[in-house]
């Protein structure tokens, strides 16, 4: 009776361990691959809240770009957006791209609430297929990706951050 139990338990541990190790190796490789791909802004294409396609070529030449992955119901995302709105003049020469997996209507209401629709350098995009998260390895809300004017990644920040910190990174 004890021998089969011994074999069963040993096999269970072994199978679980092998499964986890395989998954860990796969995920590490995937993370490394993404980290390599996002060093420079990768090719992307998302619809904005008016249904118009927004691609790499819509980014401003020689200007820094900030991607803010958010959700309208996330408290920290709202807080970050509010801080940006209060300091909007400091972002004059920066392309600010807000992106969310939510419906365009919901994103539009959010943008209207913070009065951010009137600025040319601010865009609100819909990630309908949730591909931004996979492409940029985003696992938290909000996540901020800061790219310099050469389109090189400066920092990927998880969570909320103060404006001074954000602007200091772009300088």
Partner 1 sequence: MKNLFLKYLIISLAFTLISEITNNLLNVNGLLRYFLSDYLTLKELNNYFEFQNKWHWLTYFFIPIIILLKTSIITLILYIGLFLSSKDLKYSNICCIVINAEFIFLLVPIIKTIWFLFFQTNYSLLDIQNFYPLSALNIVGYKNLESWFIYPFQILNLFELSYIIFLAFQIGKLTQTNTDYGLKIVRSSYIPVLFLWVATVMFFTLNYS
CB of 24 to partner 1, least distance (A): 6
Task: Give the SS3 label for residue 159.
Answer: coil
Distance CA 92, CA 83 (A): 15
Taking the least distance from each CB to partner 1, the nearer of 25 and 117 is 25
Place of tokens 């920040």: 157
CB of 108 to partner 1, least distance (A): 27
CB of 2 to partner 1, least distance (A): 5
Taking the least distance from each CB to partner 1, the nearer of 63 and 167 is 167
Instruction: Return residues touching partner 1 (CB under 8 A).
Output: 2, 5-6, 9-10, 13, 16-17, 20-21, 23-24, 27-28, 31, 79, 83, 139-140, 159-162, 165
Taking the least distance from each CB to partner 1, the nearer of 63 and 153 is 153
Going by C-beta distance under 8 Å and a sequence separation of 6 or more, which residues neighbour residue 167? 90
CB of 104 to partner 1, least distance (A): 29
Going by C-beta distance under 8 Å and a sequence separation of 6 or more, which residues neighbour residue 43? 55, 56
Distance CA 144, CA 20 (A): 30
User: In the beta sheet, which residues pair with residue 66?
Assistant: 96, 146
Taking the least distance from each CB to partner 1, the nearer of 63 and 163 is 163
């Amino acid at each position: 009776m004890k021998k089969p139990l011994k074999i069963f338990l040993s096999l269970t541990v072994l199978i679980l361990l092998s499964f986890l190790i395989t998954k860990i190796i796969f995920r590490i490789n995937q993370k490394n691959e993404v980290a390599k791909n996002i060093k420079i802004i990768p090719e992307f294409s998302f619809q904005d809240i008016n249904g118009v396609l927004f691609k790499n070529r819509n980014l401003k030449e020689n200007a820094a770009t900030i991607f803010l992955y958010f959700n309208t119901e996330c408290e920290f995302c709202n807080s970050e957006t509010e801080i940006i709105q209060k300091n909007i003049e400091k972002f004059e020469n920066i392309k600010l791209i807000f992106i969310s997996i939510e419906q365009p209507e919901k994103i539009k209401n959010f943008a209207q609430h913070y009065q951010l629709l009137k600025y040319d350098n601010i865009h609100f995009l819909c990630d309908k297929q949730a591909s931004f998260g996979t492409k940029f390895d985003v696992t938290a809300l909000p996540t901020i990706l800061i790219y310099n004017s050469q389109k090189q990644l400066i920092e990927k920040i998880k969570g909320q951050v103060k404006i001074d910190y954000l602007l200091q990174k772009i300088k």
